[in-house]
Structure 1
Amino acid sequence: MPATAKYSSALDFADRGAPAEPPKAVPSGTPVVNPQLTRSFTSAARARAERSRLQGLQLPTEKPANGRVLHDPSRPKKLGERISLWLINDGRQKIFFATFLLLHALVAVLGTIHYALKDNLVGARAEFGVTYVIARGAALVLHVDVIFILLPVCRNFITLMRRTPLGDVIPFDKNLELHKATGWAILIGTIVHTLAHIVNLYHLTMADTSAKTTGQRILFFITANFIIGPLITGWIMLALLVVMVWFAVEKRRTAKNGGFEKFWYTHHLFVPFFVLWQFHGMFCMIKPDRPPYCSYNQIGVFWRYWIVGGVIWIYERILREVRSRHVTYISKVIQHPSDVMELQIKKEKTTARAGQYIFINCPEISYFQWHPFTLTSAPEEDYISVHIRVVGDFTRALAKSVGCEFDSKGKGGEKGGANKEPTVVATAQTSALRINRVLPRIMVDGPFGTSSEDFLNYETVLLVGAGIGVTPFASILKSIWYRMQNYSEGERTRLSKVYFTWVIRDFGTAEWFHSLLRALEEQDSLNRIEINIYLTGAIGVDEANNIVVQDVGADKDAITSLRAPTHYGRPNWEKVFKSLGDKHSQSDIGVFYCGPNALASTLRHQCNKNSDPRGARFFFGKGRSLTFSLVVLLPSSIEYTSNMSRSSGLDFSDRQPALDQHPDVSNVQGAALQRNKTERGRLQTLQRNNTVNPRKNEGPKTFREKVDLWMINEGQRHIFFVVFLFLHALVATLGFLHYFLKDNLVGARAEYGITFVIARAAALVLHVDVIFILLPVCRNFISVMRRTPVGMVIPFDKNLTLHKATAWAIFIGSWVHTIAHIFNLYHLTMNDTSATTTGQRVVFFIVANFIIGPLITGWIMLIILCIMVYYAIEKRRRMKNGGFEKFWYSHHLFIPFFILWQFHGMFCMIKPDRPPYCSFNTIGVFWRYWIVGGIIWIYERILREVRSRHVTYISKVVQHPSGVMEVQIKKEKTTTRAGQYIFINCPEISYFQWHPFTLTSAPEEDYISVHIRVEGDFTTAFAKALGCDFGKGSKDEKGAAGGKVIGTNTNPPLNRTLPRVMVDGPFGTSSEEFLNYETVLLVGAGIGVTPFASILKNIWYRMNNFNTSKPTRLSKVYFTWVIRDFGTAEWFHSLLHAIEEQDTQNRIEINIYLTAKIKEDDMNNIIVQDVGAEKDAITSLRAPTHFGRPNWDKIFSSIAEKHPESDVGVFFCGPAGIAHDLHIKSNKHSDVNTKGGTRFIFGKENF
């Protein structure tokens, strides 16, 4: 680049032209605004050394080799795509708040109509008019608001709920917005209620016959406000509410001189406000026309609406008091420049996540004030820390208390003083020894979750901090830094690339952050974190000249001492997001921000504008993706870098490799690296297509053709579940009509109302669900049925999905049934003539739950059901430390659940109007619905016990590298098929636990084998019982070739006594259908390659023994293995070598995609060994290794071109994210438009 070239960056500010004339002389020290400084920089330009410091996103984006644009947010979008994009960042929030407003409108309208038409309020309406109806309608809306007002500030509740599936529906990160909206709704509703009652008081005054003159009426009107209970409490409540709202307004809350303190104390006036609200409705001033005039059901009902949120809030306050009593102390205080102090706190029983925040209380300052601060420590550190800017009353008092010496305005050092070092003010040790000062006692509540803690849910994230808003990202970046330093100890994460952008006026604002950035940059040898700093403040001419002189040609930035150059001016967000979209097309990118609201609005707008449903999607704030990724932080003997990519017809690469100086590269001018002649000779047939010709006959499809394509992979499943839902709706509707119209239930409907009908209809739906709940887990039944013609209609491979759907239907139906019966019990209580007082009715209501048979059994059943559902949720089931065991044992509570269900309906509590009252036909009918599935399930359990008694023993145990063990088992009377799975039980560990494992042996072998990755409680105990020694570093032994035999049963005295095992199965999956096709595409991801070991072995035996093998249609196999590092499944290498040597007819094509990153030295070694070699330098296979992820569009297009007029079976085992992509590609590339079209039939391993 010539010296006069303009410095450009995808993340740099834009819209700048070259200066028309040189800048005029300015006296020394005069501030210079950013555009002038920028022009002086661009005129000087950056030298080659500085350009080498540019990171990936700052470099120009190369176009793909095929010229195709993967990410194009400007392309015309269909209605469905526009809706899906709208839902990403705006839709969920807007739908929720629209529902909130609609609820208010609905309650207001229905309340107004109710009180306008209620037949026992005719006198009140006649006396007060329409304002009485308005007042009561507004009061009803206010009561509904009470439900919502406390829940958003119950932070433990919010933190818990945002991690549940409800977090995908309700925007829990907008909890304060909901609290504010509810607060404003209460204020408006209160004013409406008050004005209406003022008019009502006027009508009451005018109707008072004792007031003869106008003066008397005015005196009565004024006096009434101080002597009538509802009016006194009402005016006090309104005054309290106005005070709370006044000091809660943003401007006053953030004001200096005690703004936050005034807000904090006044907001706690809600306690007397709620107490007065309860009394406000208990005076029964306006009575109905007929008794009961002031029943328990009509007055003082505030507590009913408050009870849920109030109990949770009280629990949270109790929890705060309990947690604040945990041992907590300040371990270190550090005074940073520019008004910032750091508190390092140690607290027992505290687990934090990156991006969370805590509340701090210092009793020495105020026992009642709790202030929120973002954590700046990482979860890996043994303390929690916060960086506090000293700007308010509380922070100044806290700084003084811990010994930080800031001046009267809070300034502790020179603004922007780059050379000023942090000072350790005090530590816990010096405090204990009285050498320095006694550090004050503090109390900590939390931590609590925010949207920032979701950063690990994405492969790529953009972190944007403005000024001191950088604090939450300190914790996040520290956590990433620790993960980079300690791969073996870090948790698995999808995160592979971080773009950190810091917009700051001057560096003095957060100098404490510099050391972290420098440590990150030094540690980040893989370029996983890209740092971009934008300086928006003004600097003097002399300083600008010094920066230009020092910066040009330097390896590090003159201001920050980072390799990443500093940008001057504000970011051009349009370019930032466009560059991100181009470089990470077809990815979900998380955008997390902390700072001023104006910039937040800009970022949200750019996220929406630059999202592309077919390319990159930007999630602002909190956004959860449903896909999974293989990009994880794992130890590896070879770590891979993203700037190397091989290209082939099946390759994924849109990357320009940095190999332009290599002597053996044949063409470096193209968009992708070309292979040398020797390596190109190793390419298989499908890979030799460097370009894919357009598919023929891709014209518009008719409706019939669209239906045919939909039926290939989607129709069967969707139609079945639509029928399933329709069946539930039909049963619920018919059941409701039946019990609503049945002539011998008139008395029950009169006594209990509509809730009796709802309860009975829900019970009928639950009985229908009992038919389905057990059949999907009867695996022998499923294996048999899927091979019958019924398997063409019912998707038996989705058996677990049906089981889960039925379970959720039972769970929801049980709650509907329970809630309806709670109302029925309430009606029963109110109709009880023996209970004459409210207290007696409450006692009866509570005691009835423990003495009435249906209620006792019902509550026990509901508790059992909640336990089963709780431990069956995916996240808890897959947790370490006994997650699967808790699921397994708790799930067997279905046995007492079913027994109680049978008894639940046998009490005949609610009798019909005429006999027979409790006939065999009408009560305890549960067994009729259960009988079919129950008998099949019992038969399967008996069959398991019988088969587990067959002679079964472990013949060999082989310990493979990377935490994998192979168990070879011999069992009599067992016939298997390739692609099946078995259940294994080891009585030495647990007699009751059965765990599923995919078979890796072929049917032609005289044993059955499984390869087990040792990572859970059962597998760890099983490995120990078998004698496998997986030490702490065993999973790091990636370079070890092959495995070692641990034990056999051929010579027991010389080895060890191997434990007894019991085997149930094998059971079928979709993978065993591979022989039904002429062409198959087998895709395995990571350890998900295991089912294909059995399939490839079977094919290998068929190729090796044609005379003894059964005839097969199969003529071509494309095997694709997507893996992060080969150490994960090294045991699979020998099979691939054997297949490649035996496959003289090229019937099996192997394609391995390596998605990890390698170091530069390792990369150079691979290049030297690979170029010109007959075998791959990494795998020793003739098939070359590809770097990066597969380009599925190219793969499917190539297969369709080479295999027209064929049905291609696509079989996959691995993460759900790739399964979703393959499912979509199978539908997209299937063609029924012509006679010679190719159809892709997708199947996923599922057990």
Structure 2
Amino acid sequence: MGDWLVNEGPKWFIVGVWLVINVGLFAGTFVSYQQSLDYFYLRLLVGDALCWARASAACLNFNCLLILLPVCRNLISSIRGACSCCHRNARRQLDKNLTYHRYLGYMICLMTAIHVVAHCFDFEHLVGAYESSDPAVQAITHLSVTTNGSYVNPVRSPGTDPTQEVFKSVAGVSGVVITLCLILIVTSSTDVVRRSYFEVFWFTHHLFVIFYIGLVIHGVQGIIRGQTNTSKHNPAKCYTRYDKWGSQECPLPQFSGSPPKTWIWVLAPVVLYIIERIIRFFRSLKTAVITKVVKHQSNVFELQMMKKGFSALPGQYVFLQCSSISQLEWHPFTLTSSPNEDFLSVHIRRVGDWTEKLAKACHVDEGEFQEAWKMPRLAVDGPFGTATEDFFRYQVAVLIGAGIGVTPFAAVLKNIWYKYCDVNTEMSLKKVHFFWVCPDTHAFEWFQDLLKSLEQQTYERGNANFLSHNIYLTRGWDSNQARNIMIHDDDNALDPVTGLSQKTHYGRPQWDRVFSSLAQQHQGVSVGVFFCGPKELSTQLHKLCNKYSSSDNSGTRFFYNKENF
């Protein structure tokens, strides 16, 4: 039985603390409004709907404070750099920033639903108060508007429609607007929309600007009115003595609207996010010059660029923007160049409108060298840190890439190659298992030379066992072709497909067997598993890391790391 806590413990500890804070904030606010004398008369009109609305609003403020922080990429990169000496379990939580961002989004959706439903009941009760048979309700409802603000019911006319009353208030209009923004943001964030219609996701996600503006002005009208003179007019004693209101014993109750407080919650994260965007804007003004364009098989092309002052660690990623295509769209790509190289490179798969337009603008299909002035202007924002930065923190590393998901490991393997070329460099990393699931033989071509060089270098250093690479071809052959290759392959020193000493596999990996074998090979070792590829395979690998991790110090522990953009 695997040790679930190895991979899941730190994450769920953070999530647990966050949930406890939300529950505590909700319950505390609910009880506070339920027992407060200041809102006694308002509760008399609307019941516990007030408590539900205010409790959910408190949780909304808290989660709206947090949700911008995980997408402040410069902030996260700074924290990652400052925590270079921290334990890897703590650093790994930074790689889950988008996961936490989604969890916060789910909580905001839940609290928004509670808040909206509660206020719907509020307005129904406020309008219905004019027809109530309770004389105390009638008395509090018909309090006149005076210079002292001695009224509690914001609905001032009997017989009105609750929907019309909603749209008469700033809170109602802004509430509808921010709810619609939230619906559009959430529905466009699904995997289907992001993969097939990235532009839709990109533009609708920026509705968060309107969402935050609406959130801040939502309470400026102060329609939630609390009593201000409870020391003179005790509502618990005076509400049944409405016929004596205005006397010395029970002076007329006075009310005022609650001041807006959301801005206090969201001011700091909004300022941080604005600073983040300013940094990214000025950094992107330094354009990158495209020095080389290489067309690869499987609809992949490579861009090599030069940018003054640019430096990156292996496996980091950047955002690219092409002004001739769109002034607003930025797309993330993993760097495939090593820090030891004097250029930065990315490998881009042509899928979707933006990548096709970029390929056309870079003259990918023309097959001839183009002068720099003919190339489009590219803005590069980054680099930003990923889980792969912790690659050298493990004695044993397992790299798993699927298709174009191999790109972050290109930079990692290049960096390893350069370190091997430097005989004076010592690494704590002792073993690398590299797995690549390729769609066809052509997909391998652009990566082949790198693996050959690294393989040769390890042989020359007398450490041929350092790198174990396993390439799986899933298409481009049939069973007869694979059988013939395997029959005639026994006498060949090199693989006939890749030209490497380690043989190519045909079909998909049996991951359960792979992890079982790794667990047996590396007893008592912490193994870093790094993956980039589709979500379905990520889920499978994550479960296997949990399954084969041992809580015993003499057993193997697999730490799962996934690339997130």
Letter aligned with residue 398 of structure 2: L
SS of the residue 1:831 aligns to: helix
Partner of 1:221: none
Letter aligned with residue 714 of structure 1: E
Out of 870, 895, 902, which is 2:216 matched to? 902
Out of 1120, 1127, 1138, which is 2:442 matched to? 1127
How far is 1:994 from its partner? 0.8
SS of the residue 1:1029 aligns to: helix
Letter aligned with residue 1047 of structure 1: Q
For the residues of structure 2 that align with 1:951 and 1:850, how far apart are their CA atoms?
48
How far is 1:1016 from its partner? 0.9
Partner of 2:120: 822
How far is 1:760 from its partner? 0.9
SS of the residue 2:4 aligns to: helix
Partner of 1:740: 34
CA 1:1013–1:860: 2 relative to 1, 3 Å: same
Q: Is the 8 A contact 2:287 2:378 kept in 1?
A: no
CA 1:791–1:763: 2 relative to 1, 3 Å: farther
SS of the residue 1:1114 aligns to: coil
2:23 equivalent to 1:729:
yes
For the residues of structure 2 that align with 1:759 and 1:952, how far apart are their CA atoms?
51
SS of the residue 2:302 aligns to: strand
Q: Is the 8 A contact 1:785 1:791 kept in 2?
A: no
Partner of 1:557: none
- Cα deviation digits, residues 31-72 of structure 1 (max 9, x gap): xxxxxxxxxxxxxxxxxxxxxxxxxxxxxxxxxxxxxxxxxx
TM-score w.r.t. structure 2 length? Answer: 0.85
Out of 37, 42, 56, which is 1:762 matched to? 56
How far is 1:739 from its partner? 0.8
SS of the residue 1:1000 aligns to: coil
Partner of 2:399: 1082
CA 1:888–1:1211: 2 relative to 1, 3 Å: same
Partner of 1:1115: 430
2:107 equivalent to 1:809:
yes
- Cα deviation digits, residues 727-786 of structure 1 (max 9, x gap): 211111111001111111111101111111111111111001111110010011112223
Partner of 2:306: 970
Letter aligned with residue 1228 of structure 1: K
How many positions carry a matched residue from both structures? Answer: 510
Q: Is the 8 A contact 2:227 2:256 kept in 1?
A: no
Partner of 1:1063: 380
Q: Is the 8 A contact 1:954 1:1048 kept in 2?
A: no
CA 1:897–1:1136: 2 relative to 1, 3 Å: same
- Cα deviation digits, residues 960-990 of structure 1 (max 9, x gap): 1221110112112222111111111111111
Map residues 314-463 of structure 1 onto 2, 5 A cutoff: none
Letter aligned with residue 1023 of structure 1: A
Letter aligned with residue 499 of structure 2: S
CA 1:810–1:1233: 2 relative to 1, 3 Å: closer
How far is 1:1207 from its partner? 1.6
For the residues of structure 2 that align with 1:951 and 1:1224, how far apart are their CA atoms?
42
Q: Is the 8 A contact 2:287 2:377 kept in 1?
A: no
For the residues of structure 1 that align with 2:517 and 2:442, how far apart are their CA atoms?
30
- Cα deviation digits, residues 283-312 of structure 1 (max 9, x gap): xxxxxxxxxxxxxxxxxxxxxxxxxxxxxx
How far is 1:846 from its partner? 3.1
Partner of 2:544: 1225
CA 1:1201–1:791: 2 relative to 1, 3 Å: closer
2:191 equivalent to 1:877:
no
Letter aligned with residue 23 of structure 2: A
CA 1:949–1:1164: 2 relative to 1, 3 Å: same
2:357 equivalent to 1:1021:
yes
Map residues 1095-1174 of structure 1 onto 2, 5 A cutoff: 1095-1107=412-424, 1111-1144=426-459, 1145-1146=463-464, 1147-1156=466-475, 1158-1159=477-478, 1162-1163=481-482, 1166-1167=485-486, 1169-1174=488-493
How far is 1:1079 from its partner? 1.3
Letter aligned with residue 750 of structure 1: L
For the residues of structure 1 that align with 2:10 and 2:291, how far apart are their CA atoms?
42
CA 1:746–1:843: 2 relative to 1, 3 Å: closer
For the residues of structure 2 that align with 1:870 and 1:1233, how far apart are their CA atoms?
44
Worse overlay, 780-789 or 894-903 = 780-789
- Cα deviation digits, residues 89-129 of structure 1 (max 9, x gap): xxxxxxxxxxxxxxxxxxxxxxxxxxxxxxxxxxxxxxxxx
For the residues of structure 2 that align with 1:1164 and 1:1225, how far apart are their CA atoms?
30
CA 1:1217–1:825: 2 relative to 1, 3 Å: same
For the residues of structure 2 that align with 1:953 and 1:755, how far apart are their CA atoms?
60
SS of the residue 2:74 aligns to: helix
How far is 1:842 from its partner? 6.8
SS of the residue 1:1153 aligns to: strand
SS of the residue 2:161 aligns to: helix
How far is 1:1187 from its partner? 1.9
CA 1:711–1:784: 2 relative to 1, 3 Å: farther
For the residues of structure 2 that align with 1:1192 and 1:791, how far apart are their CA atoms?
25
Partner of 1:1047: 370
Map residues 1184-1195 of structure 1 onto 2, 5 A cutoff: 1184-1195=503-514
Partner of 1:322: none
Partner of 2:286: 950
For the residues of structure 1 that align with 2:302 and 2:483, how far apart are their CA atoms?
35
For the residues of structure 2 that align with 1:917 and 1:945, how far apart are their CA atoms?
48
For the residues of structure 2 that align with 1:790 and 1:758, how far apart are their CA atoms?
41
CA 1:1065–1:842: 2 relative to 1, 3 Å: farther
Out of 961, 967, 971, which is 2:297 matched to? 961
Q: Is the 8 A contact 1:957 1:1048 kept in 2?
A: no
TM-score w.r.t. structure 1 length? Answer: 0.39
Partner of 1:889: 203
5+ unaligned residues in a row in structure 2: which ranges?
132-137, 142-156, 230-253
For the residues of structure 1 that align with 2:210 and 2:445, how far apart are their CA atoms?
46
- Cα deviation digits, residues 211-266 of structure 1 (max 9, x gap): xxxxxxxxxxxxxxxxxxxxxxxxxxxxxxxxxxxxxxxxxxxxxxxxxxxxxxxx
CA 1:841–1:1127: 2 relative to 1, 3 Å: farther
Partner of 2:563: 1245
Q: Is the 8 A contact 2:127 2:161 kept in 1?
A: yes
Partner of 1:990: 326
- Cα deviation digits, residues 1040-1068 of structure 1 (max 9, x gap): xxxx665353xx5xxxx111111111111
Letter aligned with residue 206 of structure 2: H
SS of the residue 2:524 aligns to: coil
Partner of 1:125: none
How far is 1:791 from its partner? 7.0
For the residues of structure 2 that align with 1:746 and 1:887, how far apart are their CA atoms?
45
Letter aligned with residue 524 of structure 2: E
Out of 168, 173, 190, which is 1:851 matched to? 168
Aligned identity (percent) is 38
Q: Is the 8 A contact 1:958 1:1047 kept in 2?
A: no
Partner of 1:861: 178
Q: Is the 8 A contact 1:957 1:1045 kept in 2?
A: no
Letter aligned with residue 866 of structure 1: I
Map residues 185-584 of structure 1 onto 2, 5 A cutoff: none
SS of the residue 2:226 aligns to: coil
Q: Is the 8 A contact 2:441 2:476 kept in 1?
A: no
Larger radius of gyration: 1
Q: Is the 8 A contact 2:291 2:305 kept in 1?
A: yes
CA 1:856–1:1197: 2 relative to 1, 3 Å: closer
For the residues of structure 2 that align with 1:1220 and 1:951, how far apart are their CA atoms?
38
CA 1:1137–1:793: 2 relative to 1, 3 Å: closer
Out of 70, 81, 87, which is 1:776 matched to? 70
How far is 1:1244 from its partner? 1.1
CA 1:1026–1:914: 2 relative to 1, 3 Å: same
